[in-house]
Amino acid sequence: MELQQLRYFVSAVEVGSFTRAARACYVAQPSLSQQIRKLEDELGQRLFERLARSVRLTPAGQAFYERAAAILAAVAEARETIAESANFEKGEIRFGVIPTVAPYLVPGLLRAFARSFRQARVAVHEDFTEETVRGCLTGEIDLGIVALPANEARLTVEPLFSEELLLAVPKGHPLEAKRQVTLDDLTHERFVLLSAVHCLGTQIVSFCERAGCVPAVSCKSAQLLTVQELVALGQGVSLIPRMAAQTDRSKRVHYRPLTGKKPSRTLAMIWHRHRYQSPLVRSFIETIRAEVKKGPAQKERTAAAAQA
C-alpha cells in the first residue's frame, strides 16, 4: 500500500469523481483508476460503487476513508512541523467566508490577527456556502465561516454566534412609527431579497413561510448592499443581518427588531476534520474565537482605537 494510492482514493472521495480527482492530483484518469483498483485488490474489498458519472463509497470504503484520511493528515503534520520549525509566524492561511459576512466581520479579524502575526498572509476567498464547504472538503481552503446549517460529516462545525435579522424599511414608511411590528404586519408588503444563490435569501423565505407569511418578492439582488439601497428607494422592505444594519450610515433606511419570534441566523467556523492544521491556522482559529467573544461593542471600540 502506497501513500500515493491513499491520496488518489481520498481525493476521489472528496470530489466524488475519478475524473475530477485525477485533475486535482495532476495525473491521468486511467492511472488514478488503476492505482485505486490495485488498492482494492490488496484490501480484498471494493471501495467504490462505480456509477455513470460519479462514484459512491461502499461500506468498506467508508470505513477505509476514515483511516486513510487520518494517515495522510499525520504525514502532512509531520512534514509541516519540520517545515514550520524555522519560522512559525510565516505562511499563508486560505480563509473562506460567505459574502453576507465578509465585509462586516473579516476586516476586524484580519486586523486582530496581524497584530500578532505580521509576517503571515491571509488569502480571503469570498464565495457562497456551497463553494466554501466544497473548498474545505477538497483542501482549497483551510477553514471557512458560513451560516448554518452545514450538514457534512467530514467537516468540524463550530458555531460562533447567532445574529438577529432586523426589519429594514425606507425612511417615512408607516411601519417606522408603529410601536410594535410583527410578521403579520408584513403580509401585504413587497420584499426585496437576496437571490437564491445566497443561503440568507433562502433562509428568510423559509422563516416567513413557517410563520405563515409568504413574502411577495418584488426585487432580488446578488448583493446585500444593493438590497439596502433598493429598500432606501422604496422598492420594498427586507430582513437584514444586524451586523449589516450597524454599518449602514446612510440614515435612509430604518432598522428595527420584529416582535414575537425573531428571525436569526447562526454563523459557524468549518474545517475538514481529517486535514492537518498548521500552528498558524490554529492561531487564526483562536483569533476568531477571541474576537467573537469580545462582542460588537468591544469590537467597535477596538476598531476606533486602531483608526485613531
pTM value is 0.74
Query: Which grid coordinates belong to 91?
Result: 505562511
Residue carrying C-alpha cell 502532512? 76
Instruction: Quote the mean pLDDT of the chain.
Output: 89
Phi, psi of 177 (to 5 degrees): -95, -10
Angle, CA of 108, 282 and 68, to the nearest 5°: 135
Residue 110: its pLDDT value, please?
A: 96
- Burial (CB < 10 A; 0-12, 13-18, 19+), residue 93, is buried
Residue 57: its pLDDT value, please?
A: 92
Residue 85: its pLDDT value, please?
A: 54
| 49-99 per-position pLDDT tens digit | 988 778 889 999 999 998 999 899 888 878 777 666 555 667 899 999 999
DSSP letter at 184 equals G
108 pLDDT more than 80: yes
Residue 90: its pLDDT value, please?
A: 75
- Burial (CB < 10 A; 0-12, 13-18, 19+), residue 199, is buried
- Domains of the chain: residue spans and CATH: 3-84 (1.10.10.10), 91-160+266-307 (3.40.190.10), 162-264 (3.40.190.290)
Q: Give the separation between CA 7 and CA 35, rounded to whole angstroms.
A: 10
| 206-242 per-position pLDDT tens digit | 998 888 888 889 899 999 999 999 999 999 999 999 9
301 pLDDT more than 70: no
Residue 83: its pLDDT value, please?
A: 65
Question: Which one-letter amino acid corresponds to residue 25?
Answer: C
- Of 258, 241, 255, which Cα lies nearest the Cα of 171? 255
Query: Which grid coordinates belong to 224?
Result: 446585500
Q: What percent of the chain has pLDDT above 90?
A: 69
